[in-house]
Amino acid sequence: MHTVVVGTSGVTASDVLAVARDGARVELAEEAVAALAAARGIVDALAAKPEPVYGVSTGFGALATRHISQELRAQLQRNIVRSHAAGMGARVEREVVRALMFLRLKTVCSGHTGVRPEVAQTMADVLNAQITPVVHEYGSLGCSGDLAPLSHCALTLMGEGDAEGPDGVVRPAGELLAEHGIAPVELREKEGLALLNGTDGMLGMLVMALADLDMLYKSADITAALSLEALLGTDKVLAPELHAIRPHPGQGASAANMLAVLKGSELTGHHQDDAPRVQDAYSVRCAPQVAGAGRDTLAHARLVAERELASAVDNPVVLPDGRVESNGNFHGAPVAYVLDFLAIAVADLASIAERRTDRLLDKNRSHGLPPFLADDAGVDSGLMIAQYTQAALVSELKRLAVPASADSIPSSAMQEDHVSMGWSAARKLRTAVDNLTRVLAVELYAASRAVELREGLSPAPATQAAITAVRKAGVEGPGPDRFLAPDLAAADAFVREGRLVSAVEAVTGPLR
């Protein structure tokens, strides 16, 4: 099994994906262990002094003015975990929880948190044992960390609360730790706070969304190319020289992808035949501009993610000169904004795909295709209601595009009076990515059927490869009405698992 080694300088997106989705093992680098020990020495020295230090010998948040005596500090650390493990709602997905835990470990290993090496090792042991704390949907405002989600993870380290074992069964965390020979941690000064205070949940969901959207944007270029073929559109608008004079990188990449997918098609360029058109509709002609703007948004979000992956997010932090300083680096605004930006881009990409689908089904705009791509229109309804489903998904995506980061709500007796709502932005982006996949699956279903109905003209080798592969995946072609939901589910799986992109890239080579 692949092993990810965590040092002091952060981790990569591929590390997060390996641990969260592939179950990779985690090891602590020697430099991380040394940094942990050095920072802990500083915290221990401050804890022994009579002067109060926030997070070490004081309460937290609005209660930070109380100095805590030494005999109560272990209880304080336990209490902050127990009281903050206050999540509600549905369970969060296993991959999200593993990303959350791994990214918290990343910050702990930076040497800026003051956590003991044995606590960090226990975090790695829990990940390696495939024990997944039960984390709930609600409880983070995206400021002072993803508090409730991280607290549920810390509770598992203490041997309390519930967790899911490697067999998928939820049991008391103490039982699972004992079965794997992991001793529960006894938290000391600052450690409870350090385990809760980060943007790890929203960052993990951002990293996974970026990976999914990289594949889906390629998928969207393919389905747009299929629709262009089915509508007998022109590929002249994809010429590199046209996109060179408006040099947005994403636009150029999308146009190049569509041009590569359409190479060798006999279906393009017929817009002046039986039903002359000066130019194609925006949803066809402007596909690279819309998908390209989304790609550029992805690039910006990826830059923010890379910076956050290299960050140590905690409060207070241990600095190399021995100071322990309070700060605001836990605020999730940088991550929250790009999560919201991506939700907007996803909604628009789905919207333009739905417009192309509707055009394929409308006999007044489809340039010779049967109404709703039906076998015997009137007797058969064809794909009429598949487009309804797609439209419902797009409508939902528009609602999900409303930014969460614009909706701060104060907490902690007005001490934490401006929050990012980044966790909420991440949760709705996950739904948006799922719905975009379904929207593209419907466009693929409609466009592939429409291309097959254009008798006498051959599609491009790449689009033919996509159609052949999707038929082998259980998505049937033209014919009388049948139970449609299984076909749509098979098309969804075909897109979601990356098989559409793989089928096309087998002909075109890697898409951009």
- For every one of its 512 residues, what pLDDT tens digit does the chain have, with 9 covering 90 and above? 799 999 999 999 999 999 999 999 999 999 999 999 999 999 999 888 888 777 777 776 666 777 778 878 888 899 999 999 999 999 999 999 999 999 999 999 999 999 999 999 999 999 999 999 999 999 999 987 899 999 999 999 999 999 999 999 999 999 999 999 999 999 999 999 899 989 999 999 999 999 999 999 999 999 999 999 999 999 999 999 999 999 999 999 999 999 999 999 999 987 666 666 778 999 999 999 999 999 999 999 999 999 999 999 998 899 989 898 989 899 999 999 999 999 999 999 999 999 999 999 999 999 999 999 999 999 999 999 999 999 999 999 999 999 999 999 988 888 888 899 999 999 999 999 999 999 999 999 999 999 999 999 999 999 999 999 999 999 999 999 999 999 999 999 999 999 999 999 999 999 99
- pLDDT of res. 61: 66
> What radius of gyration do the chain's Cα atoms show?
26
Task: Return the bridge partners of 416, or none.
Answer: 411
> For residues 390 and 435, what is the distance between their CA atoms, to the nearest angstrom?
9
Q: 334: cis peptide before it, omega within 30°?
A: no
Summarised one tens digit per residue, pLDDT across range 335-364 is 999 999 999 999 999 999 999 999 999 999
- pLDDT of res. 275: 62
> For residues 398 and 376, what is the distance between their CA atoms, to the nearest angstrom?
34
Question: For residue 295, what are the contacts with CB-CB under 8 A and spacing of at least 6?
Answer: 217, 249, 250, 251, 253, 254
Tell me which amino acid residue 130 is. Answer: Q
Question: For residue 499, what are the contacts with CB-CB under 8 A and spacing of at least 6?
Answer: 469, 473
- Helix (H, G, I), strand (E, B), or coil: what is residue 309? helix
Instruction: Indicate if 54 belongs to the active site.
Output: yes
b or e along 142-175 (b: 16 or more beta carbons within 10 Å of the residue's beta carbon)? bbbbbbbbbbbbbbbbbbbbbbbbeeeeeeebbe
Strand duo 317-318 + 162-164: pairing: unpaired
The first and second tokens of residue 269, run together, are 């360029």
- pLDDT of res. 74: 85
The first and second tokens of residue 138, run together, are 């609600």
- pLDDT of res. 414: 82
Length of the chain: 512
- pLDDT of res. 76: 86
- pLDDT of res. 281: 94
Q: At 28, give phi and psi (nearest 5°).
A: -95, 130
- pLDDT of res. 53: 77
Marked catalytic residue, from 54, 138, 217, 445? 54
Question: CA 209, 210, 216 angle in degrees (round to 5)?
Answer: 85
